[in-house]
Amino acid sequence: MNDCIFCKIIRGEIPSYKIYEDEYVYAFLDISCDSVGHTLVIPKKHCVNVLDCSSDDLQAVTAAVQKISRHYVENCGYTGVNVLNASGKSAQQSVFHLHFHIIPRKEGDGLNTWGLNDRFDMNLAEICERLAIQ
């Protein structure tokens, strides 16, 4: 896609700090600089999000997410990672090219990536009945 910022990064039209690349996937540092090592992992083939991505491309991206995450923990001094994805505008997706965020973590780093702190009164059985795949 010609006007997609991530496609432009893949084509080398916009510079990036490459962490990993293979035939199907490109991973680079997020320029937001909101945490050390914040990495974006994207398929080289344009797709909007997990809802329209082919199974093969999604598998390649998730394999790369695992490979990079293991590298951060086994070789870079991190003790864990958060892996985040937003699929769709209502889920706060801001760049409409599938991407996963890897946030490398260390004990006591002060980051709070889980903003869901409120507990709601809900009927889980009713919700399960509505959402379960039959």
Q: How far is CA 62 from the centre of its chain?
A: 9
User: Between vectors from CA 90 to CA 134 and to CA 46, what angle results, nearest 5°?
Assistant: 85
Tell me the two tokens of residue 62.
């998730």
Q: Which long-range contacts (CB under 8 A, 24 or more apart) does 116-124 make?
A: none
71 in active site: no
Closest CA to 47 of 7, 90, 101: 7
Q: Which of 46, 97, 99, 101 is catalytic?
A: 99
Provide the annotated active-site residues.
99
